[in-house]
Chains A and B, each alone.
Chain A
Amino acid sequence: MNDNTVFQSAAVPPAASAVAKADGDLVAARLSGLRATLTEMVKSGILHLTLDLADVRLIDSTGIGLLVAAHNSLHRAGGDFTVIHASKDILELFHSMRIHQHFTVSGD
């Protein structure tokens, strides 16, 4: 089984911004790759991070926790975290967990 991996696109202006794409479900057993990538991006000085969920079918409570942790780290540093291309099911989950009140989420 592969960990979820992330493909980071070329940074978009300003230099402290980046878009990453999650490749696969964000579930407890598959988060180590994404966790390492997000941690590295925050450490490298990225302040405005967008995560593309177009290829994510399912996210569980552990996956939500990882996204919240990323948001918290960026927010403390003065940045922000955004999720794009979430499926209808994932958007409903985010809303039911009030995640949309914490950082910006948008659908397909």
Chain B
Amino acid sequence: MRPHEWRRELPATLEAVEQFCAEFQGWRAETCAGLNAFAAELLLREALNNSVIHGCLGDARKRVSCSLRARPDRLVIAVRDEGQGFDWRSLWNRRGDPAEIHGRGIEILRRYANLVRFNRAGNSVTLIKRFEAKSI
């Protein structure tokens, strides 16, 4: 049985995100099987990609920390990076133009998570995804 709390520090690379997300699905299946696999991985990827691409600007010397906590009815994802953060407030209510290539990350977080909370600087985000617990 895997622990219900899992912390991992990653180098700020997309390859590290890819590997972590593959491991995540195994952990999710054991700790919160009632959680939609697509939605959970999408949220995790968007949070991590945001840290790697925008927070750390792809600098592999920087680190991204991720904490996952499985509760009976929710998953809590916390991601923090060593970047300077960004002005998430200016993007919070943005509805991306369908013709735009970029700018969908925060909208995806808002649509798929039940709660999204950035810190003041914008280099840390906490997501809560609720789900119906599966009875044994």
Chain A residues at the B interface, C-beta cutoff of 8 Å: 1, 27-30, 57-58, 60-62, 64-66, 68-69, 72, 87, 89-90, 93, 96-99, 101-102
Contact = CB atoms under 8 A, between A and B. Distances in A.
Contacts of B111: 96
Interface of B: 14-15, 17-19, 21, 36, 38-39, 41-42, 45-46, 49, 53, 95-96, 98-102, 104-105, 107-108, 111
Contacts of B21: 27
B99 A58 contact: no
A90 B39 CA distance: 10
9 contacts: A1-B19, A27-B21, A27-B45, A60-B46, A60-B108, A65-B101, A65-B102, A90-B38, A93-B108
Contacts of B17: 28-29
> In this complex, which of A58, A61, A66, A69 has the most chain B Cβ atoms within 10 angstroms of its Cβ?
A61
A58 B104 contact: no
Contacts of B46: 60-61
B99 A29 contact: no
A61 B105 contact: yes
B88 to A, nearest CB: 15
B34 to A, nearest CB: 16
Nearest to B100: A68
B49 A62 contact: yes
Contacts of B53: 28
B81 to A, nearest CB: 15
A58 B42 contact: yes
Nearest to B18: A29
